[in-house]
Chain A
Amino acid sequence: MLIRPTREDLHLIGHNLGRVLVVVAVASLLPLGWALIARETAPAASFLLMIGVFGSLGYGMMQRPPENSRLEWSHGMVIVGLTWLIVPAIGAIPLELSGHYGSLIDPYFDAMSGLTTTGLTLIQDLDHLATSLNFWRHLLHFMGGQGIVIAVLSVFAGGGAMTLYYGEARDERIFPSVRSTARFIWLVSIVHAAFGILALGAVGYFVLGFRPFRAIFHGVTIFMAAFDTGGFAPQSSSLGYYHSGVFEAVTAVLMVAGALSFGLHFALWRGGRRVIRNLEVRTLFATFLGTLLLTLGGLAGAGVYGSLFGLSRQGIFQILSAHTGTGFATIPSPELASWTGLAFGGVAIAMALGGMGSSTSGGVKSLRVGLTIKALSSQVRQVLLPEGAVISTRYWHHGWKQLNPGLIEAVMGVSLLYVALYLLGAGMGLLYHLPLQAALFESVSAGANVGLSVGVTDPSMPVLLKLTYILQMWAGRLEFVAIFALIGFVISLVRGK
């Protein structure tokens, strides 16, 4: 029997949702300040409106503190699910008012893509977009990559905060308290921000010869998109705009840092002697090498690049971008679309697998891939051994852990859901007569929050396909649980007793 949520449940959810909106309102002061400094008055006015909506709605929901402030699992999941629907809706206001979008759904698509760190975009004439709006698109990456709710937890963590933490697809508690863990995540991000913006800005100024303000602008935006494995770029030709191996190399370091779990960052900060033993690290390294070899083999076989230097530079960057879930490209979409056979397979598999769990990247995640392989090899060994033999399989992931049937079931379940998500988008693409390869590529890119495109994502694409990709980005980022909980909550609200 379904139990209808009480008024107090709704009040508790609303109150916490209000907190999130207020925190986002405060963060939105940054693009407003940027717009005022850059003398971009029309965007400044639209940021003012957005902050007003975030703030009044947020504080409006926080008028009366709930009697019981302890969050149950269902509350936490519903709050996270709703947060990731409402924040992009309000965050799309300045994008819509910019005049760079053709329909109401397009800015919402971009805001969702920004927040989920996907990087697919429907913006038109990006090259003339105000710098403050560009900064806002990238700030969405930064907030989404770290986790908006994490930001709230680092300020307000109270009873049941762990449910919010897990709801945002984080499963590693680095410190005993959620607040300390959330603060550590922000510390890692701020240290990387200082290094990343400085390094990219210096390359922009000293190597690429940009003006100081523009060097900083490129440094800030590319840092946020790289470390949060987002994929938006301030110019229409993505990373290809810079024509610089040095700039690509610094960006690549940040992309890899973003694809590592915050637990691994913690282990590395403490010396990291056992990092090599970590199943997730080994799996990520192995799948990166595998997909890289596939891609390089495919490109070499087709004679796409005439030199080894060109083949390796372009191949390695595209695979790094795909595997970390960033979505930067150094080649135009039509050229990426012409990568067929093994090269296509390599990039698509890299996108689908993604980076580490509890990182900023999407996809199935390396730990699940590693555990699946372990489970399968354990099954094979079981078959080969005499009947009744017992096999014990353990793995290293911040300590020795035992592989048990419950864990295998959970891992397989989520992995299958990702496959279903990829097939859903591909099927929708086929419905609109897209070629299979293009339909599959774009769907995996949306579902795994990557952002590489073969040209399907375009302002003129059908509305239903846009909605499908929005759903895929949302579900892929939250790893399904919060979404199922939200659906269950709505059903019990309507049909519960």
Chain B
Amino acid sequence: MRRVAALTAMGLLAMLIPIGARAATDVNVQQLLADPSGFDGQTISVVGELIGDYGFRGDGSAWSQLNGDSYTTAPLLKSGRLSGSNLGIGIRAPAALIRDLDPPGDYHHRGPLVRATGTWRYHAADRGGETYLDAINVEVLERGTELNETPDPAVAGVGVVLLFLALWLGLRARKPSTG
């Protein structure tokens, strides 16, 4: 009987999550950073790149950062243009939603582009005043990709020449003067 009740509750929860996700307000990271208190307690959907780390905590949650700047769609290593500092928010989600995602964004990767839906928590009292998105759904819009760097051989070449010059000068400076 208890098992049936638990399964029913889980089923109801599974139905509620998409409803909640659908009822969420679409907000971008810039809006959230400009007016963080204005969305407190609201169910929102935010699109962005997961970046940095996936921190899997002992309580079954995973933390990451969701960036919503221009680099999410046009990284610098993919001929994106400089457009200022990063714009990101903290995101907490059940670990199961994050575990199988592509690696988060870093120098070698553009992280997965996701739509995260959940409750915006501003100055959460139980988390010592932290502000973050408590996500219940993470939908992958675009898989992460590898970013390939293109080293400039001229830079390395000049570097090697100067290094040899330094070594030669160093040996020369150590020689006792004959004068």
Contacts and interface: CB of A to CB of B under 8 A. Distances in A.
A48 B156 contact: yes
Nearest to A46: B155
20 contacts: A39-B108, A45-B156, A48-B156, A55-B166, A56-B162, A56-B163, A56-B165, A100-B76, A100-B82, A127-B88, A128-B75, A208-B55, A209-B56, A209-B62, A236-B85, A307-B125, A307-B129, A309-B128, A313-B129, A459-B82
A52 B160 contact: yes
B170 to A, nearest CB: 4
B45 interface: no
Interface in A225-242: 235-237, 240-241
A21 to B, nearest CB: 10
A99 to B, nearest CB: 6
Interface residues of B, number: 64
A454 B84 CA distance: 15
B53 A305 contact: no
B57 A127 contact: no
A53 to B, nearest CB: 6
A45 B165 contact: no
B92 to A, nearest CB: 7
Given A209-B55, A335-B36, 15 more contacts: A42-B155, A50-B159, A51-B162, A55-B167, A127-B52, A128-B105, A131-B106, A236-B85, A240-B130, A309-B125, A309-B128, A310-B124, A310-B128, A458-B84, A460-B84
A272 interface: no
Contacts of B54: 209
Contacts of B125: 306-307, 309-310
Contacts, number: 196
Interface residues of A, number: 71
Contacts of A64: 177
Interface in A7-58: 22, 25, 39-42, 44-56, 58
Nearest to B56: A209
Given A52-B161, A305-B123, A459-B82, A209 B57 contact: yes
B23 to A, nearest CB: 25
A158 to B, nearest CB: 16
A125 B82 contact: yes
A59 interface: yes
A343 B110 CA distance: 39
Interface of B: 33-34, 36, 51-58, 62-63, 65, 67, 69, 71, 75-77, 82-86, 88, 90, 92, 105-108, 123-132, 147, 149-153, 155-156, 158-163, 165-167, 169-170, 172-173, 177
Nearest to B34: A334
B71 A127 contact: yes
A127 B65 contact: yes
B166 A125 contact: no
Contacts of A458: 84-85
A125 B107 contact: no
A55 B123 contact: no
Contacts of A128: 51, 71, 75-77, 105-107, 147
Nearest to B156: A45
